């Protein structure tokens, strides 16, 4: 019988053999006598077993609930209506009557009148004439002058601005690093085709950790600088201009005068004559006119009264109904499961196998 010492490194989920120093040894108990030769070992068996479990099932039940319904009812209300009734009233009527009136008429009569005729005559009139004479006047002339004006000029000034530049800086970052971590204790690795059991302890596994590092970065900062800029300014400048002034001069004008002259004119003169005219006179005449009188009558009017009337309205009521509801409840059931059981049994080793295994090692 030979025991194999194996130390393995777990990478992911794959177990690889490692030819490092042995850390744990699985030994088999031996007796002092030589017969029979063998060793005790464990075998993993799967034993069926029934386990009681609870299953969730849905069950349809009927739950009482209240439903709001509309029920028609009759309600007495007061409704306005118009009722006709007779009321006394006065009516104005027109009655025909004969009335003697004075009507205008035209009568022809002879009346004297004065007729205006034109007769010649001499009349002194004033006739205008134009004579020349000098009058003072103002004449506009141009004289030189100076005027103060404002002229725009661009002046260069220094203006502060912010300029961005890069400065070096250090930033703390975290870098992932795989490190080896030891797992203490015995770990079962399995068996070979001869039934030998392999165990190992103090194996290593990879662990991801974050390691801090300082990284050089460039940070943007602002610096105040002065840059030239043009500014518009207004400066006074004297400009030569021509100004308008008034100068007194003598101007020849025509003046209107009036002279007396005799002129033949026609003057009106009144002469008496007779003409036929129409004169308005008043003559009696009977005319049919309408005289208004008041007569009592009965007039139909509408008066608003209130009567009782039935109106159908809907009233809210609650009615008890049954509503289907699915409820969940637990029911027992049996489930077949397989449990691992380690069974100990004796393995007999023959004598000729002892020399064969003694010279063989783990490859």
Of 1-10, 124-133, 239-248, 270-279, the least confident: 1-10
The stretch 279-294 carries a mean pLDDT of 88
> How much is the pLDDT for 360?
40
User: 339 in a domain, yes or no?
Assistant: yes
d(CA 308, CA 303): 16
Backbone angles phi, psi at 359, to 5 degrees: -90, -10
User: 126 in a domain, yes or no?
Assistant: yes
Position 13 pLDDT exceeds 60: no
Residue range of the domain that includes 41: 7-359
Of 27-36, 170-179, 353-362, the least confident: 353-362
What would the two tokens of residue 33 be? 């006598």
User: 313 in a domain, yes or no?
Assistant: yes
What percent of the chain is modeled with pLDDT above 90? 17
pLDDT per residue as tens digits for the range 173-227? 999 999 888 777 777 778 888 888 878 777 788 888 999 999 999 999 999 999 9
**Antiparallel, parallel or unpaired: β 14-18 and 197-348:** unpaired
> How much is the pLDDT for 168?
93
What would the two tokens of residue 226 be? 């002065």
User: 247 in a domain, yes or no?
Assistant: yes
Among 244, 83, 226, which Cα is nearest to 160's?
226
Position 70 pLDDT exceeds 50: yes
User: 1 in a domain, yes or no?
Assistant: no
The stretch 20-47 carries a mean pLDDT of 63
- The pLDDT confidence band at residue 352, using thresholds 50, 70 and 90, is low
Please provide the DSSP assignment of 193-228 as one string: TT--EEEEEEEEEEEEEEEEEEEEEEEEEEEEEEEE
Peptide bond into 251 cis (omega under 30): no
pLDDT per residue as tens digits for the range 294-337? 888 988 888 899 999 888 888 888 888 888 988 888 999 999 99
Among 12, 24, 9, 11, which Cα is nearest to 197's?
24
Q: What is the DSSP letter of 353?
A: H
Give the 3-state secondary structure of residue 37: coil
> How much is the pLDDT for 175?
92
**Domains in the chain, number:** 1
d(CA 227, CA 175): 45
> How much is the pLDDT for 3?
41
User: 328 in a domain, yes or no?
Assistant: yes
d(CA 15, CA 22): 16
- 22 pairs with which residues across the strands? none
Q: Please give the residue that has the higher pLDDT: either 69 or 3.
A: 69
Cα angle: 140, vertex 144, 150; to 5 degrees: 115
The stretch 337-348 carries a mean pLDDT of 88
User: 2 in a domain, yes or no?
Assistant: no
Backbone angles phi, psi at 257, to 5 degrees: -125, 160
d(CA 185, CA 205): 13
- The pLDDT confidence band at residue 28, using thresholds 50, 70 and 90, is very low
**Antiparallel, parallel or unpaired: β 197-348 and 7-11:** parallel
User: 92 in a domain, yes or no?
Assistant: yes
Q: What is the pTM of this model?
A: 0.22
The stretch 268-275 carries a mean pLDDT of 88
């Amino acid at each position: 019988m030979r025991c194999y010492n194996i130390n393995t490194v777990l990478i992911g989920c794959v177990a690889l053999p490692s030819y490092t120093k042995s850390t744990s040894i699985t030994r088999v108990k031996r007796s002092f006598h030589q017969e029979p030769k063998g060793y005790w070992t464990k075998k993993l068996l799967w034993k069926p077993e029934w386990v009681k479990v609870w299953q969730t099932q849905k069950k349809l039940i009927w739950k009482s609930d209240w439903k709001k319904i509309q029920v028609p009812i009759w309600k007495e209300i007061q409704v306005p209506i118009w009722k006709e009734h007779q009321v006394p009233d006065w009516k104005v009527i027109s009655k025909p009557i004969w009335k003697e009136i004075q009507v205008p008429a035209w009568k022809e009569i002879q009346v004297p009148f004065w007729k205006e005729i034109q007769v010649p005559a001499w009349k002194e009139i004033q006739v205008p004439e134009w004579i020349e004479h000098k009058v003072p006047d103002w004449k506009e002339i141009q004289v030189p002058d100076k005027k103060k004006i404002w002229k725009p000029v661009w002046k260069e000034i220094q203006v502060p601005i912010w300029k961005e530049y890069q400065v070096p800086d250090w930033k703390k970052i975290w870098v992932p690093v795989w490190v080896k971590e030891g797992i203490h204790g015995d770990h079962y690795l399995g068996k070979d085709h001869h039934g030998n059991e392999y165990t190992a302890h103090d194996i290593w596994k990879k662990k991801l950790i974050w390691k801090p590092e300082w990284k050089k970065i460039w940070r943007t900062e602002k610096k105040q600088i002065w840059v030239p800029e043009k500014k518009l300014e207004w400066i006074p400048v004297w400009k030569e201009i021509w100004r308008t002034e008034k100068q007194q001069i003598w101007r020849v004008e025509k003046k209107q005068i009036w002279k007396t002259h005799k002129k033949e004119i026609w003057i009106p003169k009144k002469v008496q004559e007779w003409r036929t005219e129409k004169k308005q006179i008043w003559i009696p005449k009977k005319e049919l006119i309408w005289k208004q009188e008041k007569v009592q009558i009965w007039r139909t009017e509408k008066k608003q009264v209130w009567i009782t009337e039935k109106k159908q309205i809907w009233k809210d009521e609650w009615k008890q109904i049954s509503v289907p509801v699915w409820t969940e409840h637990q029911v027992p059931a049996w489930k077949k499961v397989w449990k691992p059981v380690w069974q100990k049994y004796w393995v007999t080793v023959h004598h000729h196998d002892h020399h064969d295994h003694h010279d063989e090692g783990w490859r």
